[in-house]
Chain A
Amino acid sequence: MQARHGHSSYRDRTDEFFGVVETLRRSIAPAAANNVPYGGGRREDPRSTAVMQSEFNKRASVIGLAIHQTSQKLSKLAQLAKRSSVFDDPTREIGELTAVIKQEISGLNTALLDLQAVRNSHNDERNISRDTTTHSATVVDDLKNRLMDTTKEFKDVLTLRTENMKIHENRRQRFTNNPSKESTNPFVRQRPLASKPAPSQPAPLPWANSSSSSSSQLVPRRQGEAESSPLLQQSQQQQQQQMVPLQDTYMESRAEALHNVESTIHELSNIFTQLATMVSQQGEIAIRIDQNMEDTLANVEGAQSQLARYLNSISSNRWLMIKIFFVLIAFLMVFLFFVA
């Protein structure tokens, strides 16, 4: 004790030593590197909650270790899935590994949920300092994040695997050309025909040159297939590969012809509607012409009646003139009477 106060040659670090031993004893059972940050923060815990916290601790460390192992298996799976050679396909191993990883992830999920429930129950039962609650919350969140990352990686690996399987399927069918090619036809027909490129003429030449038919030349016409994966094997399979594109080009040409027919019919419908519009407009014009002619007719009839009346009046004026003459003669007579 005295040695501690003075500047002596040794320092009594027994308490520290005891603390470290306790920590190590707590953390020695689930031996993983992940445990250290969790175990380290627990040194100052009061004894009363130490048991609970250590249980929480143990669980958290177990979960951490399991996550780590899962991510390791996942990286192995990713490596296997990336190996994309046709012949050496470790499908069974990949399947097993996938199942194992899926199980582990679901188990980890439930364990994490349990951990969270335990922590919540602890927080409800006892008076725990704010630090411990935040710490346990941080621990749980961290574990959750890691689990999420692992699941995401798992999903990516699975998508990569399915893409590779698709490519393998295509390659296999081009090589063996079995009747299960109907599965590739939907892939072919889905390609929009409007964007069908002009037949690439240089492509047929290497195939025609190396085909091994005896008396006839195979002419692969209409090669617009952009889907062809690189050919690995020659002549025999090339002939069969020409078979598949030819079949597809036949289907494609039929589909294209149908599209042409459909578009022609559309154009025809457009033309018909235009025709109908024009004819209806001209019908209106015809109605106006009709009205004009009726007006003209009415005017001319009125004018004709006027002229007829005028004619009548002109021809009937003579009566008036005779009467006027008589009146004049009467005046003349009166004049003659006065003068003579």
Chain B
Amino acid sequence: MLSCKDFLKELSDYLDESTSPGAKAELDQHLKECPNCWVVADTTKKTIQVYRGTEPRAVPDRLKFRLLAALESRMKARQKNC
């Protein structure tokens, strides 16, 4: 049977569903028999979900204006060269 350490080494791939079918069966089995690893796997999965579900904040206006101004001067320079 797989040790907890072996399980944890594979946890990322397991959650990303990128393990081979054979390895997956072994990891599934470990989860059924080991409450600790079940908790770690479940809360790691939720950790990823909570970050993936976060929308990016708006860019501060001041920064947006600065960027657009810098870009505009590049755009003007390019048009002159064309």
Q: Do A and B come from one complex?
A: no
**Which residues of A come within 8 Å of B, CB atoms?**
none
